[in-house]
Amino acid sequence: MRTKHGVLAVAAWGLLAADPRAGATAPPAYDLVIRGGRVMDPESGLDAVRDVAIAKGRIAAVSAEPLPGAPAIDAHGLVVAPGFIDLHAHGVDPANYALRAADGVTTSLELEVGTADVDGFYAEREGHTLVNFGASIGHIPVRMAVMGDSPRFLPAATARAATEAGTDAQVQEVARRIRAGLERGAPAVGMGIQYTGAASRFEVLDVFREAARAAASVHVHMRYNGTKEPLSSTTALEEVLAAATVTGAPLQVVHVHSTSVAFTARHLRLIGEAHARGLDVTTECYPYTAGMTDLSSGVFDEGWRDALGIDYGDLLWPATGERLTAETFARYRPQGGLVAIFSIPEDAVRAALAHPLVMVASDSVLRDGLGHPRSAGTNARVLGHYVREQRVLPLMEALRKLSLMPAQRLERRVPGFRNKGRIRVGADADLTLFDQERVIDRSTYAAPATPPDGIPYVLVAGVPVVDRGQVRRDVAPGRGVRAPLR
């Protein structure tokens, strides 16, 4: 009933909106038609050849019969999927958004580190951004500001935000700024407890309380990584599961595999059991066996080799391509910089990708062309390597992890997400078209910005931002996605 009503309503509106210069004989009710693609919608399970028509930035019709109207995109041989929603992407400049668009992303969100200035973040990007965008109110940048550190992506291990517990007044101020960010429509709350290791368990609970009051999910990089007790990732997981349980805040554990390493399968079981008992907890991963973070951060505090079961030689310094030694580690650590950490077992990546509560999120950032191949290859690698070549998960399940699940994670707080991650009449025309026989990542640790193959079209609000495989620089259909202001 609802679908039928939607078709009629939107079709009528489309006709009214038609260009009168087209003449009485041609009824171009649509702005664009995607012809003959294999339409896959993870919400309804639709997997069939359909025409998809777009009007005014939304899907106006999905039809087994050919739809009239031009212009059209010939999608024969291509999968037509909901645009990919990346919940965890640190690069928030035009170059990073362009890389992500080439990898099929239509909504790019920085929900882990986030921002301390929600209004500023959105104002800076509105009207001139390629893809939809957003950022959480971030505990890390808020804590750095309150503790008097100078602004930086992540606090150095010696920064006040990382080393000082803070007075009661400072902790209250942190909570107040989190609340203020949520009142300004931040879609979620971000935390990276490992980077702010001096934050007490009670401060963490205060942040979760603020999130719970706003029905906002907490996207958290947990306090410890690795398997070494007593400061293990299991302890860290128990901390956030407890915080979600007692406060009621929805919980998103970020990059479960890079934090849990050899314990990934055990932790997925734990998360699954908590979920089965009614806790709103989900998690995410990227399809690589190396993580990346700042060498000067708390991740490399005393004991990191033991915790992660790796050595200096498992660190790759992208600036020069060298593997580190004790000596170069000591030399580079004070200045800091991005470093790749080969710490994630391949079976942890596979266990995560195959688990029903795990979404795909890139954790990407590229600076001056340096970084991790996940910045340009995450989604193509899931589709090409892990779905087609390795058969770790079915294609429809992968699409659910890339589009529908991230939308569902946020839609309670941000109603706009009910119209993303789906292909149905009335949904936003954010669409990714790819060739499942060809799609593959091409980015490497040596050349991390190389775009993937096999993703010829990406549409944001019906506007092609990737057209015949080329990222367009002359359009900016991206919109800020944020919760209703209170």
Beta strand 47-55 with 32-40 is antiparallel
Name the minimum Å distance from CB 196 to Zn ion: 12
The residue (of 111 and 399) whose beta carbon lies closer to Zn ion is 111
Name the minimum Å distance from CB 192 to Zn ion: 6
Give the span between the Cα atoms of 342 and 134, in whole angstroms.
29
Name the minimum Å distance from CB 220 to Zn ion: 9
The C-alpha angle 74, 382, 433, rounded to 5 degrees, equals: 10
Residue 273 is encoded by which pair of tokens? 């059991």
Beta strand 322-323 with 431-434 is unpaired
Residue 64 is encoded by which pair of tokens? 């087994």
Name the minimum Å distance from CB 114 to Zn ion: 12
139 is a contact residue toward Zn ion (CB under 5 A): no
| Residues 266 to 325 in contact with Zn ion, rule: CB under 5 A | none
The residue (of 129 and 194) whose beta carbon lies closer to Zn ion is 194
The residue (of 221 and 355) whose beta carbon lies closer to Zn ion is 221
Name the minimum Å distance from CB 408 to Zn ion: 22
Name the minimum Å distance from CB 260 to Zn ion: 12
DSSP code of residue 287:
S
Give the span between the Cα atoms of 112 and 270, in whole angstroms.
22
Q: Which residues contact 402 (CB under 8 A, 6 or more apart)?
A: 81, 84, 85, 104, 359, 360, 379, 382
The residue (of 177 and 374) whose beta carbon lies closer to Zn ion is 374
The residue (of 221 and 223) whose beta carbon lies closer to Zn ion is 221
Residue 312 is encoded by which pair of tokens? 């200096």
Specify burial of residue 387 (Cβ count, 10 A radius: 0-12, 13-18, 19+).
buried
Give the span between the Cα atoms of 186 and 111, in whole angstroms.
9
Name the minimum Å distance from CB 252 to Zn ion: 12
Q: Helix-strand-coil percent breakdown of the chain, rounded to 5?
A: 35, 25, 40
The residue (of 304 and 434) whose beta carbon lies closer to Zn ion is 304
Tokens 């958004």, located at residue: 97
The residue (of 73 and 162) whose beta carbon lies closer to Zn ion is 162
The residue (of 221 and 420) whose beta carbon lies closer to Zn ion is 221
The residue (of 252 and 432) whose beta carbon lies closer to Zn ion is 252
Give the span between the Cα atoms of 385 and 264, in whole angstroms.
20
Sign of CA dihedral 319, 320, 322, 327: negative
Name the minimum Å distance from CB 60 to Zn ion: 39
The mark string for 383-412 relative to Zn ion (x by CB under 5 A, - otherwise) is ------------------------------
The residue (of 53 and 359) whose beta carbon lies closer to Zn ion is 359
The residue (of 38 and 221) whose beta carbon lies closer to Zn ion is 221
The residue (of 286 and 386) whose beta carbon lies closer to Zn ion is 286
DSSP code of residue 466:
E
Name the minimum Å distance from CB 113 to Zn ion: 8
| Residues 192 to 251 in contact with Zn ion, rule: CB under 5 A | 221
The residue (of 221 and 350) whose beta carbon lies closer to Zn ion is 221
Tokens 């119209």, located at residue: 419
Indicate the residue type of 370: L
The residue number whose beta carbon is nearest to Zn ion equals: 221
Residues binding Zn ion: what is the number (CB under 5 A)? 1
Binding site for Zn ion (CB under 5 A): 221
